[in-house]
Copies of this chain bind each other. A is one copy, B any other.
Amino acid sequence: MTVRVVIVDDQALVRAGFRMVLDSQPDLEVVGEAIDGADALRVLDRVEADVVVMDLRMPTMDGVEATRRICARATGGRPRVLVLTTFDTEADAFAALRAGASAFLLKNVPPEELLAAIRVVAEGDSVVAPSITRRLLDRFAGQLGPGPTEDPRLAQLTEREREVLLLVAQGLSNAEIAARVHVAEATVKTHVGRILAKLQLRDRVQAVVLAYESGLVTPGG
């Protein structure tokens, strides 16, 4: 199964170089090129791609904005964006990753590493330059709690209750939840009541807080 790649960079020489490197690989296929962010969006309207290799510094629409838009309209997680830039700055990297990039590499990596990274990204995983990885860890290692160890209290909930809790955590009223689940509003109320009792909470507001704090729901997700 070949990986379809689109190259986005404002310098023709760089694009030609990347294309040369990628085309030398039997499992990679360059299906398009773009000279800036706006152009990239047009190209992606025409062709199906698995991975977009994106430069950051570009005229008209920079790589971060382009990445944000590509990820916003991505369906089924495709295409994924691999950002490749010259400048090793935390601001650029974090902005790109926040915008949805699946990978962040510096242009000084050896070609084999770029090729490996493209394959990794196509598989759905991620690669980040070592200097940026260190900064990521510096910032977030402390928050790596017991990991996916969900609040044990959540385990007490039945399937239905968990379903209702998710809707509560989206800000829906009991009536809206009732409509969504095809049940009487009174029923939703008892479900919520049971949820609060099991989780030892006072009201739905605290339920929402717990949902976020426990990782049952995550911002943006």
| A30 on the B face (CB < 8 A) | no
A92 to chain B, nearest CB (A): 8
Stretch with Cβ within 8 A of B (4 or more), from A34-42, A48-56, A146-154, A155-163? A146-154
Interface residues of A in 82-128 (CB under 8 A from B): 90-91, 94-95, 97-98, 100, 102, 120, 123-128
A219 to chain B, nearest CB (A): 5
Number of interface residues of A (CB under 8 A): 53
Q: How far is the CA of A95 from the CA of B142 in the complex (A)?
A: 10
Contacts A130-B120, A171-B206, A205-B208: A142 and B218 contacting too (C-beta < 8 A)?
yes
Count this chain's copies in the assembly: 2
Interface of A toward B, CB cutoff 8 Å: 90-91, 94-95, 97-98, 100, 102, 120, 123-128, 130-131, 133-134, 136-149, 168-171, 173, 201-206, 208-209, 212-213, 215, 218-221
Q: How far is the CA of A142 from the CA of B220 in the complex (A)?
A: 7
Contacts A125-B133, A142-B218, A145-B91: A205 and B204 contacting too (C-beta < 8 A)?
yes
Which of B133, B205, B220 interacts with A145 by CB under 8 Å?
B220
Which of B100, B128, B139 interacts with A218 by CB under 8 Å?
B139
Question: For A202, what are the chain B residues with a Cβ–Cβ distance below 8 Å?
Answer: 171, 173
In the complex, are the beta carbons of B133 and A126 less than 8 A apart?
Answer: yes
Contacts A130-B125, A142-B219, A219-B215: A90 and B120 contacting too (C-beta < 8 A)?
no
In the complex, are the beta carbons of B169 and A209 less than 8 A apart?
Answer: yes
Question: For A98, what are the chain B residues with a Cβ–Cβ distance below 8 Å?
Answer: 141-142, 144-145, 147
Contacts A133-B127, A205-B168: A90 and B173 contacting too (C-beta < 8 A)?
no
